[in-house]
Amino acid sequence: MTNTASKPTVAVVGGGLAGLAAAATAAEHGLHVELFEQGETLGGRAGSFRDPQTGQLVDYCQHVAMGCCTNLADFCRRTGVADCFGRYRRLHFFAPDGTRHDFAPAGWLPAPLHLVPGLMRLRYFTLGERWDIARALWWLAREPLAGGDDETIGEWLCRNGQSARAIEQFWSVVLLSALSETVDRASLAAAKKVFVDGLLAHAQAYELLVPQLPLGEIFDRRVAAWLADRNVVIHQGTRVKQIDGDARRATAVVLPDGTRRQFDFIVVAVPWRRVCALFPESMLAAMPALRRVEGIQPAPITAVHLWFNRPITRLPHATLVGRLSQWIFEGQYLQVVISGSHGVAGREREDILAEVRRDLEAVWAEARGARLLHWRVITRPAAVFSARPGLEKIRPDQHTPVENLMLAGDWTATGWPATMEGAVRSGYLAVEAVLRSLGRNERLLVPDLPRGRLVRWMLG
Ligand SMILES: Cc1cc2nc3c(=O)[nH]c(=O)nc-3n(C[C@H](O)[C@H](O)[C@H](O)COP(=O)(O)OP(=O)(O)OC[C@H]3O[C@@H](n4cnc5c(N)ncnc54)[C@H](O)[C@@H]3O)c2cc1C
């Protein structure tokens, strides 16, 4: 083994959450880790930038997690940043007519019945529509997916008698938030996962975890310091140009200046659209599954950052139903998130801003007449992968056919949508594979929230 002080050595390529999770667990399990990140900061897509006008550290886009994100929670506990997230048990929906409807499942009822009182309080639906939604949730949970993964959730909802209004104002609202994808594109399998894991399976699954600090402070500063304390060598601003090797072994990480660094294991944790370019033909030929990831489609997310001269709402977050502005977050300034923003591409920024302001003014009196001091619109065209039918068949396993080469990244086979949770899971699974290669069968993946008897019965 190439070694430093006899520890097996691991190179992690990519300092997003997948790479950070891999680096953290590998270091904790006695491996010597070096992390290569091409950017100047860690956190990848879950990152921040310094806004030149206000001087504030601003997230490219507000990120939230949920109670069902057990591995992200474990990663944050391990690295000492769990207290950087606030937990919210009440969600605030504003109906198209501007009325507010709070959603708070009943903790005293066993899952999945805990949802019933919250659902019944969504009075912008008729009683009949609420009943139809509840019934369809039940059927979705019991859906065997016998036809494989080739149907969209939109087709399934129509087949199961959901009205256009229920689709637009309930199903789309949840799925856009969770998958950043529209119902006519998202797969039935991905939607089932969202509703089962995120709502039905456990009374705390739906709880919202919102970072109370900029993501850059959490991942680029605090987690980086934690890693450095555990002797992880972090190379920021260092792009990996290529991974050398053959069909059997990855031999080196090659940097742009030609430097070749040898490691016992290499974990590649870059986005799916960058991964194939890192390997020579001889290695790609040994990994046919990897070539297929080029078929994964992206989905866009737009964040509108607004600095007003006064707060617009006292709510820390809210969901606006039936509007361009889907989620708003009020903190050091106001942020509006538009997920699955396919329709926004190509529109002028001023035009997007004007519609967002109309949305805010329709819901909050404080927005009318508030002075806008500064604003930014940031669209990430490839924010996440699109969870379309057939996707699960092309997501590769973390352990590749090349014996010492592992993959991580939200796009690898985790069963999760493109989320921080999916990224952390992939990093844990990659390190599990490294440990297995060393003859150590240690489990790092944290189980899902426990499912009660009623949930197990519902799921058949
Ligand atoms: C706008 C937006 C909003 C989102 N909202 C949410 C949300 O609310 N909740 C949620 O859970 N998730 C959300 N996500 C998704 C979440 O950010 C991602 O799923 C997750 O951060 C992906 O982590 P990753 O490590 O797999 O990939 P990335 O974060 O993309 O990290 C990959 C890293 O690899 C580096 N890299 C690439 N090539 C090289 C190379 N050759 N050498 C060295 N380094 C390289 C990149 O610079 C990057 O830092 C959002 C994403 C976006 C973009």
pLDDT 10s digits, 280-324: 999 999 999 999 999 999 999 999 999 999 999 999 999 999 999
Cis peptide bond prior to 311, omega within 30° of 0:
no
- pLDDT of residue 35 exceeding 90, the answer is yes
User: Is there an atom of ligand 1 within 6 Å of 22 CB?
Assistant: no
Residue 70 forms part of a structural domain: no
Question: What pLDDT was estimated at residue 346?
Answer: 86
Lowest mean pLDDT among 5-9, 65-69, 238-242, 325-329: 5-9
- pLDDT of residue 380 exceeding 70, the answer is yes
Nearest-CA residue for atom 52 of ligand 1: 383
Domain that holds residue 166: 90-206
Q: Same domain for 96 and 202? A: yes
Coil vs helix vs strand at 336: strand
Q: What is the pLDDT of residues 396-422, one digit of tens each?
A: 999 999 999 999 999 999 999 999 999
Query: How far, in Å, is the centroid of ligand 1 from the Cα of 45?
Result: 3
Q: Same domain for 288 and 393? A: yes
Question: What pLDDT was estimated at residue 332?
Answer: 86
- pLDDT of residue 4 exceeding 70, the answer is no
Query: How far, in Å, is the centroid of ligand 1 from the Cα of 41?
Result: 12
Alpha carbons 73 and 75: distance in angstroms, whole number: 5
Q: Provide the CATH number for the domain around residue 152.
A: 1.10.405
Q: How many domains is the chain partitioned into structurally?
A: 3
What is the position in ligand 1's atom list of the atom closest to the CA of 278? 41
User: Is there an atom of ligand 1 within 6 Å of 299 CB?
Assistant: no
Name the phi and psi angles at 419, rounded to 5. Answer: -145, 170
Query: How far, in Å, is the centroid of ligand 1 from the Cα of 167?
Result: 29
DSSP class of residue 331?
S
Q: Residues 6 or more apart from 459 whose CB is under 8 A from it?
A: 141, 142, 196, 451
Q: Same domain for 130 and 100? A: yes
Residue 96 forms part of a structural domain: yes
Coil vs helix vs strand at 170: helix
Task: Provide the mean pLDDT of the chain.
Answer: 96
Q: Same domain for 192 and 285? A: no
Residue 458 forms part of a structural domain: no
DSSP class of residue 11?
E
CA atoms within 13 A on the CB side of 168: 10
Alpha carbons 368 and 360: distance in angstroms, whole number: 8
Stretch 19-31: mean pLDDT, rounded?
Answer: 98
Percent of the chain with pLDDT over 90: 96
Alpha carbons 48 and 273: distance in angstroms, whole number: 21
Q: Same domain for 188 and 167? A: yes
Q: Same domain for 184 and 315? A: no
Percent of the chain with pLDDT over 70: 99
Nearest-CA residue for atom 20 of ligand 1: 420
Q: What is the pLDDT of residues 73-94, one digit of tens each?
A: 999 999 999 999 999 999 999 9
- Tell me the pLDDT band of 146, cut-offs 50, 70 and 90: confident
Q: Same domain for 424 and 313? A: no
Question: What pLDDT was estimated at residue 460?
Answer: 87
Query: How far, in Å, is the centroid of ligand 1 from the Cα of 427?
Result: 12
Alpha carbons 20 and 12: distance in angstroms, whole number: 8
Q: Same domain for 45 and 100? A: no
User: Is there an atom of ligand 1 within 6 Å of 304 CB?
Assistant: no
Q: Same domain for 114 and 198? A: yes
Question: What pLDDT was estimated at residue 149?
Answer: 85
Question: What pLDDT was estimated at residue 289?
Answer: 93
Coil vs helix vs strand at 301: strand
- pLDDT of residue 127 exceeding 90, the answer is yes
> Residue 382: enclosing H or E segment and its boundaries?
strand 372-385
Q: Same domain for 148 and 119? A: yes
User: Is there an atom of ligand 1 within 6 Å of 26 CB?
Assistant: no
**Token couple for 188:** 């039935």
Question: What pLDDT was estimated at residue 425?
Answer: 98
Q: Provide the CATH number for the domain around residue 222.
A: 3.50.50.60
User: Is there an atom of ligand 1 within 6 Å of 383 CB?
Assistant: yes
User: Is there an atom of ligand 1 within 6 Å of 45 CB?
Assistant: yes
Residue with tokens 């944050």: 76
In this structure, the strands spanning 317-320 and 91-94 are parallel
Alpha carbons 123 and 129: distance in angstroms, whole number: 10
Q: Considering Cα of 380, then 392, then 291, then 419, what sign does the dihedral take? A: positive
208, 268, 270, 421: residue to mutate for ligand 1 pocket, most atoms within 8 A of CB: 270
For the CA atoms of 14, 17, 22, 24, the dihedral, rounded to the nearest 10 degrees, stands at: 110
Name the phi and psi angles at 46, rounded to 5. Answer: -90, 65
Please name which of 205, 200, 269 lies closest in space to residue 457, comparing C-alpha atoms: 200
Query: How far, in Å, is the centroid of ligand 1 from the Cα of 46?
Result: 6
Question: What pLDDT was estimated at residue 5?
Answer: 62
User: Is there an atom of ligand 1 within 6 Å of 380 CB?
Assistant: yes
Query: How far, in Å, is the centroid of ligand 1 from the Cα of 19?
Result: 10
Residue 21 forms part of a structural domain: yes
Question: What pLDDT was estimated at residue 58?
Answer: 97
Nearest-CA residue for atom 5 of ligand 1: 63
CA atoms within 13 A on the CB side of 182: 9
Separation in Å, CA 102 to CA 1, 31, 88, 181, 272: 58, 48, 12, 24, 38
User: Is there an atom of ligand 1 within 6 Å of 200 CB?
Assistant: no
DSSP class of residue 79?
T
Cis peptide bond prior to 401, omega within 30° of 0:
no
- Tell me the pLDDT band of 148, cut-offs 50, 70 and 90: confident
Q: Same domain for 21 and 125? A: no
Stretch 126-142: mean pLDDT, rounded?
Answer: 96
